[in-house]
Amino acid sequence: AQSVTQLGSHVSVSEGALVLLRCNYSSSVPPYLFWYVQYPNQGLQLLLKYTTGATLVKGINGFEAEFKKSETSFHLTKPSAHMSDAAEYFCAVSANSGYALNFGKGTSLLVTP
Partner 1 sequence: GAVVSQHPSRVICKSGTSVKIECRSLDFQATTMFWYRQFPKKSLMLMATSNEGSKATYEQGVEKDKFLINHASLTLSTLTVTSAHPEDSSFYICSANRQGGTDTQYFGPGTRLTVL
Instruction: Kindly tell me which residue out of 42, 61, 80, 112 binds partner 1, with binding defined by CB under 8 A.
Output: 42
Instruction: Kindly tell me which residue out of 53, 70, 100, 113 binds partner 1, with binding defined by CB under 8 A.
Output: 100
Tell me which residue of 13, 32, 43, 39 sits closest to 92, measured CA to CA: 32
Tell me which residue of 8, 6, 11 sits closest to 73, measured CA to CA: 6
Is 44 one of the binding residues for partner 1 (CB under 8 A)?
yes
CA distance linking residue 75 with residue 89, whole number of Å: 11
Is 36 one of the binding residues for partner 1 (CB under 8 A)?
yes
Q: Which residues bind partner 1 (CB under 8 A)?
A: 32, 36, 41-46, 49, 51, 90, 94, 96-98, 100-106
